[in-house]
Amino acid sequence: MKRISIEFVVGLFLIAGLVGFCYLAVSLGGVRVGQDSYLLTARFVSASGLKKDAEVELAGVAVGTVTAIRFDPKTFEAVVDLAIPRDARIQEDAIASIRSTGLIGGKFVKITAGGSERILTPGDEILETESSISLEELISKYIFESSEKGSPDPLE
């Protein structure tokens, strides 16, 4: 009888450990279990640096994710699919912009609320967008513009 109770306790301990491991894997992996969301799309001239599963922020709070990024050969634009929670109401004149988390950090989609009465429904497109800003392009533009104007070389 004593042997069965020890095996039973070890089995319960093992099951509790597996449940704890699964909980940590799901919570640290960023999986949102049971969250009801809908898809919106946004078109960008450049989605440089944006990755699938990047965060979508509303009012500075991460509320959704980027589910897909694809190229539209007809318009030469990047089409980005966004999973937004059902309780987040996005106005039709909202602005979606690709932002950087820091100088060398990852990219995310920031949605700035609009003032319209009309709310976007699943499958709608956010029409106002701001593309990703490339740090390399800004630096090269600054360097080449200053050298074309005949300004002195700052390294001399």
How many residues are given for the chain? 156
b/e map of 84-112 (b: 16 or more CB within 10 Å)? beeebebbbbbbbbbebeeeeeebbbbbe
Structure tokens at 31: 């999986």
Structure tokens at 69: 């990024």
**pTM exceeds 0.85:** no
Per-residue pLDDT, 81? 92
CA–CA gap between residue 97 and residue 101 (Å, rounded): 13
Pairing of strands 107-112, 37-44: unpaired
Per-residue pLDDT, 19? 92
Using the Cα atoms of residue 87, residue 92, residue 98 and residue 101 in order, give the sign of their dihedral.
Answer: negative
Element (H, E) at 142: helix 135-148
Per-residue pLDDT, 120? 86
Per-residue pLDDT, 107? 86
Structure tokens at 33: 């279990």
According to DSSP, residue 121 is labeled -
Burial class (CB in 10 A: 0-12, 13-18, 19+), 31: exposed
Per-residue pLDDT, 152? 54
Full pLDDT tens readout for the chain, 156 residues: 555 688 888 888 899 999 988 888 777 765 555 468 888 899 988 888 888 888 898 888 888 889 999 998 998 888 999 998 888 888 888 888 888 887 677 888 999 888 888 888 888 888 888 887 666 777 777 787 766 665 555 555
According to DSSP, residue 103 is labeled S
